[in-house]
């Protein structure tokens, strides 16, 4: 059995690499989701006018890694308190967002966010969106496993 999780946490290259190293993750792919334009590409998304976020789709085996464990990776992978910005990258395409695929994922994401807010780990409020997973548009091949390709060059 496998499940899907989708996260936006800034530039998708590093996020994909991080999730790809998690035991129980079967596969990852990068793409665009959450916007209002179909069959979108990188240049369109970079314009900031599509509503899409750079995202990572994670296929995982829940008997090995739980969605809650993936949420923990998500929170540690980026700064969830900066709206539309991660490091040097800024724009709505770099926003912090959890795209849930089921009511259970929604509940887990909301609980996780609430617990993190209460923990005091961050001085600023968490701005991460938690929204239903819409259509996922796979990014161009050169973006897939980008860092692994660069190391192999």
The set of catalytic residues is 11
- Sequence-ordered alpha helix ranges (H) in the chain: 12-20, 42-46, 67-77, 103-119, 146-152
- Decide: 86 and 15 in contact? Cβ < 8 Å: no
From residue 86, how far is each of 73, 78, 111, 144, 150 by CA, in Å? 16, 7, 23, 20, 21
First to last CA, the chain: 35
Cβ neighbour number for residue 91 with a 10 Å cutoff? 16
Residue 81 backbone class (left: φ over 0; alpha: ψ -120 to 50; beta: rest): alpha
Task: Give the chain's count of helices (H) and strands (E).
Answer: 5, 8
Quote the tokens at residue 28: 């990852």
């Amino acid at each position: 059995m496998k499940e899907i999780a989708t996260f936006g946490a800034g530039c998708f290259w590093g996020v994909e690499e991080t999730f790809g190293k998690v035991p129980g993750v079967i596969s990852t792919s990068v793409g665009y989701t959450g916007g209002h334009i179909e069959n979108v590409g990188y240049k369109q998304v970079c314009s900031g006018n599509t509503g899409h976020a750079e995202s990572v789709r994670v296929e995982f085996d829940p008997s090995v890694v739980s969605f809650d464990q993936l949420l923990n990776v998500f929170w540690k992978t980026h700064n969830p308190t900066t709206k539309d910005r991660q490091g040097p990258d800024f724009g709505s395409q770099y926003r912090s967002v959890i795209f849930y695929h089921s009511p259970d994922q929604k509940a887990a994401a909301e609980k996780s966010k609430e617990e993190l807010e209460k923990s005091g780990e961050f001085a600023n409020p968490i701005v991460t969106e938690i929204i239903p997973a819409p259509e996922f548009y796979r990014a161009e091949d050169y973006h897939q496993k980008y860092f692994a390709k660069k190391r192999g060059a």
